[in-house]
Structure 1
Amino acid sequence: MIHVPLVPEVRLFLAEDAIILWARLEATAGRSLPAPYWASAWPGGLALARYILDHPAVVAGRTVLDIASGSGLVAIAAAMAGARAVTANDVDPYAIAAISANAQENGVVISPAADDLLDGDGDGADVVLAGDALYDESLARRVVPFLTRAVDRGAHVLLGDPGRQHLPTDRLQSLAAYQTAVSGPPEDAQIRRADVFTFQQR
């Protein structure tokens, strides 16, 4: 359990070394498992959580959906900032367990959702959050249309990202930039900045 860099208000169960954790989980399960993305605090999620805590009015009193929630960091920040109800969505059952444990540790109420929601439009949530959800091309091909549908039906969509190559820059307006500490997965070791964007209608 650690206080999260850039977001010291939040404490999370994170892995000191996600690769070693992954190997241990696979050994215990006796089969291949998805990478434990939930065991790291990713730079886009850190920036988005910081922005929400600094600007609570964006979620206060509103229903919030956090996609690709991982550890639940962004969802926890939304709950702390006064959201009326927060759903944290991730398809990895280990992430769902981590979200529940982290929410309890931080004294907030979050509804974990394990279903794949990316073919929808956010299920009526007032605010849709995506912290570092574009790290993989195949995922980005589903997330960007999902966010498009959400914003087109009237949701307020916020995206935190360190400038990954799948970012739909033509749809984004930058709201803030943060210097991020090295706390994410090893492939992000050189990342020092992440931005928060609002996703706009065409």
Structure 2
Amino acid sequence: MPVGGEEYRILHPEAAEALIDEADFERDERLPYWADLWPSALALAGRLAAEDLRGVRAIELGCGVGLPSVVALRRGAEVLATDHYRAALDFAAHNARVNAGRELPTALLDWHSPPREPGSFDLVLAADVLYERRHAEALSRLVPRLLALGGEALVADPGREGCAAFLAALERAGLRVGSERRAVRQGGRGVGVYVHRISR
């Protein structure tokens, strides 16, 4: 698939619904959202493809199959890809090896119970992670903790209900929010996605 004028080969499961684990769903209504390549990931990847990210420390939250992480890696960033699913991290690492020729550091990360000191990053990335309100609340607490002084977050979202609450919580915490709309094509149709830029 073309991203920013360059070709990427992104491996992902053929049918996400086949990966539903009944025990995971019973425990916390967990669904394998990671297995799809969402329009928001394409929009965020396109945004990153125009950036010089050499020397930038980045983390992707809910990386799924890892397209934004892979693009950031190719643009020179040091990237940590995180997800709640081990299988997602395996796909992201594979896609990094295929497309960037480099190993992609990965880590399991539960947004609701993050490490006490999660580290600080110049760039926090997330694509279509606000599909549940509880995620919006957890991420509005986590993102500011991850941002280094002078850092920024890029959060791509198609307009899900949780996004407005997430952005409002960040603004109440004193962060600045700017938004741009990007159009991507997927499955032969155009899809509009907002990329929100969050900074201190």
Match of 2:143 among 147, 150, 164: 147
Structure 1: gaps (5+ residues): 184-189
Change (3 A) 1:124 1:5: closer
1:199 and 2:195 equivalent? Answer: no
Classify 1:176/1:104 alpha carbon distance in 2 versus 1 (closer, same or farther; 3 Å): same
Match of 2:183 among 174, 178, 182: 178
Q: In the alignment, is residue 89 of structure 1 matched against residue 82 of structure 2?
A: yes
- Whether the aligned pair in 2 keeps the contact of 1:150 and 1:157 (CA below 8 Å) is no
Distance 1:61 1:6 in 2: 20
CA distance in 2, matches of 1:169, 1:101: 32
After superposition, the C-alpha distances for 1:35-72 in whole angstroms (9 at most, x for unaligned) are 22222111222111110002x22x32211111111111
The equivalent residue for 2:127 is 131
Amino acid at match of 1:96: L
Aligned length: 184
- The change in CA–CA distance for 1:100 and 1:158 in structure 2 (over 3 A counts) is same
Long gaps (5+) in structure 2: 172-176
TM value normalised by structure 1: 0.77
Identity of aligned residues (%): 26
- When normalised by structure 2's length, the TM-score is 0.78
Higher relative contact order (CA 8 A, sep 6+): 1
Greater strand proportion: 2
1:142-183 CA distance string (max 9 Å, x none): 012212333474422111111111113444201452234249
Q: Which moved more, 1:42-51 or 1:167-176?
A: 167-176
